[in-house]
Amino acid sequence: MMSSSPEAELAESLTNEVTCPICLELYCDPVRLECEHNFCRSCISKYWLRGGEEGSAPEGQSQAFTCPQCREIFPQLQLRTNRLLCNIVERVRKLRVDSWGTASASPPEGSGAAERGTPAGFCAKHGERLKVYCQDEQVAICVVCAVSRDHKDHSMAPIQEALQECKVRGLG
């Protein structure tokens, strides 16, 4: 097995720490609940809108909110932006781009790219340069993958355009 760079190893080890337990993606606008658990703002909002695990509201209140992880019940919605986690996520995204040449954490799962030594910035499956960003799967892909049935109906953008958008939004 080919050894990866220290940056790639760091990005991979930090990825689990900065992954939303609801969407299983890197946090996007992470917020902290009173119980200290973190979620993407949109994920926890959608979770509560869908009525996921609503707690019984205290006497005289119409709704309570429950943490999906610890089940602690909150009588009122208070989402606090976790600025420290925002900064860590930004750095992990940058490490991922720098170490793999894409916004992806690592080569596609099961592709064997690391074992085969596929160069960063190239598709492990087709050997083509990664030029397209699949917005649905949030991964860089080659043009062959882009027209394959795996990505046929997905939203896509040129990789440079996606990277620029990340920089503009302060994510990369």
Q: Does domain 6-53+61-98 have CATH number 3.30.70.330?
A: no
Ranges of each domain in the chain: 6-53+61-98, 122-166
Q: Could you please state the CATH topology (level 3) that the domain comprising 122-166 is classified under.
A: Double Stranded RNA Binding Domain (3.30.160)
**Tokens 């790219």 sit at which residue?**
113
SS3 label, residue 65: strand
Q: Are the CB atoms for 156 and 144 separated by under 8 Å?
A: no
pLDDT score at 106: 44
> What burial class does residue 41 get, using C-beta atoms within 10 Å of its C-beta: 0-12 exposed, 13-18 middle, 19+ buried?
middle
Asked if the model's pLDDT at residue 76 lies above 80, the reply is no
Average pLDDT over the chain, rounded to whole?
75
**Per-residue pLDDT tens for 80-104?**
899 999 998 888 888 766 655 544 4
Within 10 angstroms of residue 2's Cβ, the number of other Cβ atoms is: 9
Give residue-wise pLDDT tens across range 19-68. Answer: 899 888 889 999 999 999 999 999 999 988 887 644 444 455 456 889 99
Q: How many other C-beta atoms are found inside a 10 Å radius of the C-beta of residue 30?
A: 24
